[in-house]
Each structure stands twice: as structure tokens, then as C-alpha cells.
Chains A and B, each alone.
Chain A
């Protein structure tokens, strides 16, 4: 069923409104037209962000809005190269422990004050180092300290070398915040979190809760005559199907993968009026974690049996509509440089329900008498479909699975705080490097924080290798370490990686200059409207 709309004729909606306007003699804004001025882009998001301070949250929609308002020291291009943003040059000492950044001159905050190294020091040490969910624990472990020899130089000293350090200096992990507005205040409730002041190409103009967020051009932006757009509007559309509909109807100009329901992706890929960008993304893996402390899942054989029983290609096809790659190994195959082909899942655990049944029988598990409990986050639509397919697969080998869809905070409590599960479904974002996002899947962890290793798996050798891989600066050395890790982890299997996520970010063909960065939310200064 194709319903590509012709871009040449006004849509029926426009005709009807036009007729109404004629009838009432009023000027009516055309839907899908440019009544709000040339050079406005409309982006779809799923909900109001909880805050616009990227120093304290990793919420996706928050990043979407704030990445146009705030900036980091660098930005990452699709090849993972760091490019200058608020820093124009940088260098690292041979031992990997000291980083030196030269800041851009003449940059001003949206309220007119000057940007300087004091802002960088404050942001890194007082905000991100203490409050950023992803970076704070890392900075603490690294013993990060910042010196500012002058207004445009920043020296960061680490106690240990950290390979991915530079790639964490983007606006999402280390946004630069105005010291003059945050110093000495309670950062969590500072009103600047809702009305951010940044150095970026756009400023916040208006926030209508539940409806839309409007950004306008920063006329004093440091990069020549950029930005080209006059305004950006974020339209809040909570129903996923409606977002796609709005995209295809031209009501919004961009929809990122995060907000796109997978079943609609084939339709988007087939729509000639849209320009999708496929599979350029920071890797993320979806997995099923076993509770190795529970009597059933403690046995390695049983875990292997489940790996044989679960049809990962079917998961990709039906739960993700083909926009993913079946799980390949302990770290997926998103980072090609570290993938260990010899112990890949495809070789070790091909889909073989008969073999799974045999292993289970040998392990003494009788068909139909064992029930495994599987909680997952109910707000994630793919998880529901995944869980049902897995339930189906496991029933075929005689294991009953009790699905427990839980509200997110209940899920966090049950799985991470209480470890009350046999199986659980989750997904972790790598944030650009396995050392940043995937280490937490396998390292020994006894705390109760969410989004950590709740499997109870504790292997000192694995811990050691993970630490080494995070501090070695040479990529070849790291690759070797990760390959060794896969040798161990693919065999011990505390967690079964189900698939590697692929993304499809879509923009209207009327926008040019889209997607210059690895993260589709980043670098909007160069975007232009063609109509």
C-alpha cells in the first residue's frame, strides 16, 4: 500500500483549509507550508525532555534539543574523527594522561558574556564530573583534574590513560555550560536548565509543554554567517505512528531513528520524498541477561541451550523489521576492529532447537515444569515483541517463560536493585566506544544502580582485560584485548547478545547539509532549506 504524496499539488487538507479561508475571508496558515518564515525546520520528538541541561542527563530528546543550543569541545564525524567545535586544537601526552586543548577565541554566550577556559573547568569539574550519569563515574575513576593556564587554554590531567577520552568531549557527554549562571547555585533546580544559555547556533525562544519547543537563530554565532536556518521547531508527538505520518505528510522535516517505530521503517525507505540515512550510528546492542545467581541459570550448559533455542534472525525480522543485525558476539559487531570471528555466535550457537532440548534434558530440566521469569521495560515497544518471540522459542524446547512487563522504575528496582529475575531484556548504548558503554555489561558489579551488570557474573580475568582495553591507547593492542575477552565471554555467556541495532534517521529532501556528524542530533549550523 503506497501512499506517497505528490509534492506538486497541495494536499486535500490544504485545499479544504484554503476553501474555508476563502469562505471566511481570513488568511489561514498552510499546513506543510512556510508560513512561519523561510528557513524553519520542524523536527519530531516523542515527549518533552525533562531538562535541557545535558550535563545532568542522557535523555535522548534532551540531547536532540540542547545539541543545537549548547556545544562541546569537539564533535565526531561518521568516521569517529574528532573535529573542532569550541576547541580548535588539541594534543595528548605520550603517556595518555595529559590532554591539552586550545579554545576558540571570540565566542560569546547567548547572553553576551564571553566564553573562556573558566567555563570549561567549571563544566567539567563541577557539573559533568559530579552529575553526568555517563561521564561522572568515569571522571571519578580517572581522577580528572583541570587546569586553566590562560583564558583560551585548558589542560586536563588524568591519573590513568583513557583511550576514549577525546570522543567523550562532545556536547552529549561534556557540554560547556555558563559558569556565571551556575556557579554557587543548586544545579539540579537552576532555572537555566529550562531556559538554557549556550554558545550554539540556536537559542531557546519558546517552550509550550506537551506541544512544541521553538529555537531561533543565534545572530552572534561564532561561525561566520551560520546558522542558515531562521528557526527550529520541535514538535512533540507522543504516538509513534503519528510521527511517521507527520513526516510523510511534510508536517515535520526530520524524524530520528529513536522516535521511529520499526514497522514503519520499510515504508520510509520506500518514500521517494524522504532522504534516509541508514546504519551510520553509534553501536548499541540488545541483549538477554541471565541471572547467574539463580539456580536455573547458574549452569553454563543451560545458558548455552537457550542460545541455541533463540531464533535471532527472526527477532531481527519481526521485532526490528529487519533494521538490525543478529547478535554476533559478546560486543556485537558494531565495532568491526574488535570482532573475533572465530568464536562468533554464528559458529558457536546456530539456531538449533533440537540441540537445545538435548542439552536441557541432560541438565535435568524436564519439559513444561520449569518457569523462567523475564522482566523488561514496558515502555519500549520492541521489547514486547522480542519477549513474545523468545517466549515462543523457549516453549518449543520445553521452557515456560513468564513475561513481566514493568514500568521503567519498577523494572530498575526489580532487576538491578533486587536482582529478582531469571532472564531480563535490556539494551546498552556504546556511546562511541566499547570502553564507555559495553564495559558495564560484563565487569564485576555489586551495587544496585540501574544499567549495570546485574547478572552476578564476576570474573577477575575479564575485569583485568576490560581495564587494560580501556587504558591502552593503541587500537591494535585494544583489538587484541577485546578478542581475548570474546573468547571468554562467548563461552561463559553471562549475557546473550540478541542483535546490533541499526538506525534509520530520516530527513525531508528539502533540507540540505543534513547529518554531517556521527550523531544525527549534532551540527545543525550548516543545514539549509531548499524551498
Chain B
């Protein structure tokens, strides 16, 4: 995917929205994300049951009375768990992407702006992190140090920032040579101000795109870790639901299908959003 920034593409231009919302699929993705966020925030009002409360009504098939998606092996309502699971997925997904963006932008901007040994050093560090196989490292770190929502956010962010940093560095390096930056320097602006006010806003495009894609990746990684039993046991998580479902594949397919579908649709929505943003912000690379 071509995410190379075209220098100085602000996205406040009127055509941006038009480009963004060109495809039907983008509409659908945005609508889905909006609905998901709304459902996650308003979760207690959207569901009829406590997601942690079970009972003796276990393994009811979908369309049972009061449980339209059925119940799991401990009698808990599947719909409630899917909705509450969105909270964890979105929280971890967005928080770790945000965290990765912050770290990536800071490091990338410093490297791109100052160049020289700072650049070489920081990019070496980034490359080191990129060499580590993402999922394997996350697996080992969480397995060893124990799990919690915070730990997952930190670990996922730690493996996501390098790609962002490299892209930001490339953008910043190019932008740092442009005329308006020279002008700003001549006018006496400090480095920090130049970076923050002149350069970064123009480099925003790839950051936004990568950020969106990182959310999708983070959600997938969290689901994978929870599937391996490494998620936080005190919260409802889609990946953990799939873990529970493994033992019941043959007797309760609904325990696997609905959370899996939720993951797939959410990841798809964020990916589509990232694609659409890329199309809108990079008219040169836009696919027909």
C-alpha cells in the first residue's frame, strides 16, 4: 500500500470529504464504527443482561427467549458479551494506536528534522523493534509478565510505533527542506515550534492513515492474545470468547461465530476507513 506522503497535502480542502465519501463501502465502514462506538459507550442500555451474570440457562441456541444470540457455556448472554467485548477491543485498539502514534511521531519527527547521528540512532532503534516478530514478542512478554489492559496497550503500542516513525521521518525530512520552513527559521522560530506548527500539520496525512490501520491491527493482536488465554480475565473480550468456544465447537457454534464475526467486521471497518483516508489524502496514488 502506497502511503508515501505527498508533501503538503492539507486535508481541510473541500474535495477531501468528497473524495473520502466517494465509495459506498466507506459509508458502510463509518456507519459501522459509529454504531459500534455508540453501542460500546451505551452498553448497559443496549443489552438486557449482565454480561458476567450466568445462570442455569446454559448453551441456549440463538433466538431463544430473551437471548437472541443464545447463551454460552456458563449461561451468559452472548449478545451482551459481544457488546461489552467491543469496549475492550475499542479501548485497547484505539489507546494503543494513539500511544504508538505519539511515540512514532515524536521519534520520527526528531529523526527527520535533525538528521545526522540522531536520525541514524533513532532509526536503528526503530529497525530493531521492527525486526522483532510482532505477535511472538507480544505473546512472550504478556505470558511472562502477566496480563492487564494497560500491559496489553503498552506491549501492542511498543510493536506498532516503528512503522509510523519511519514514515513520519520520511515526510518530515522532505518537508524540512521546503521554503516555508526556511522562512520560519529566518523569522526566528525555534525548532520545536517549527516542527509542531509548520511541518507536522502538513505531514498529517500518512499519520492518520497509519493510525487507522494500526487500530485494526491492534484489535487483531488483542484478540489473538486473548485467544491464547493471555487476555485480562476480568473483562469480556472477543478473543477470550473464541477461546471459550473452542471446547464447544461442535455443540455451540454460536459461541464462535458471533464474536469472530465481530472481530472481522470491526477490523474490516477500520481497514476500509484507512484505505478511504489514503485515497482521499493521496490523490496521486488513488486507485480507480
Contacts and interface: CB of A to CB of B under 8 A. Distances in A.
Decide if A and B touch, CB cutoff 8 A: yes
Nearest to A311: B56
A389 B54 contact: yes
Nearest to A400: B234
B251 interface: yes
A395 B74 contact: no
B247 interface: yes
A405 B54 contact: no
A395 B229 CA distance: 23
B58 A318 contact: yes
B143 A264 contact: no
A405 B53 CA distance: 19
Contact of A395 (B52, B55, B247, B250): B52
Q: Give the size range of B's interface with the partner.
A: 20 to 34
A407 B247 CA distance: 20
B70 to A, nearest CB: 14
Interface string A395-437: 1000000111111001000000000000000000000000000
A241 B248 CA distance: 8
Interface of A: 1, 3, 239-241, 261, 263-264, 267, 314, 317-319, 378, 381, 384-385, 387-389, 391-392, 395, 402-407, 410
A153 B261 CA distance: 69
A248 to B, nearest CB: 10
A319 B150 CA distance: 29
B246 A385 contact: no
Given A389-B74, A407-B143, A317 B56 contact: yes
Main secondary structure of the interface of B (DSSP, over half): loop
A317 B75 CA distance: 11
A403 B234 contact: yes
B248 A388 contact: no
Contact of A241 (B73, B146, B247): B247
9 contacts: A241-B247, A263-B251, A264-B247, A318-B56, A318-B73, A318-B74, A378-B229, A389-B54, A404-B233
Contacts of A267: 250-251
Nearest to B144: A407
A405 B54 CA distance: 20
Given A314-B56, A403-B233, A405-B229, A388 B246 contact: no
A160 B146 CA distance: 45
A410 B233 CA distance: 16
A407 B73 CA distance: 23
Interface of B: 52-56, 58, 73-75, 143, 146, 229, 233-234, 244, 246-251
B233 A405 contact: yes
B73 A385 contact: yes
Given A405-B229, A405-B233, A388 B74 contact: yes
A264 to B, nearest CB: 7
B251 A240 contact: no
Contact of B52 (A317, A318, A388): A388
Contacts of B233: 384, 387-388, 403-405
A298 B73 CA distance: 34
Contact of A318 (B75, B143, B146, B234): B75
Contacts of B58: 317-318
A413 to B, nearest CB: 11
A60 to B, nearest CB: 19
B52 A241 contact: no
B248 A392 contact: no
Contacts of B246: 239-241
B139 to A, nearest CB: 12
Nearest to B231: A405
Contact of B54 (A264, A384, A388): A388
A116 B287 CA distance: 83
A84 to B, nearest CB: 41
Contacts of B247: 240-241, 261, 263-264, 381
A408 B251 CA distance: 29
Most buried by B among A395, A405, A410: A405
Nearest to A385: B74
Contacts of B250: 1, 3, 241, 264, 267
A392 B229 contact: no
Nearest to A393: B54
A317 B55 CA distance: 11
B62 to A, nearest CB: 15
A318 B54 contact: yes
B202 to A, nearest CB: 47
A410 B55 CA distance: 31
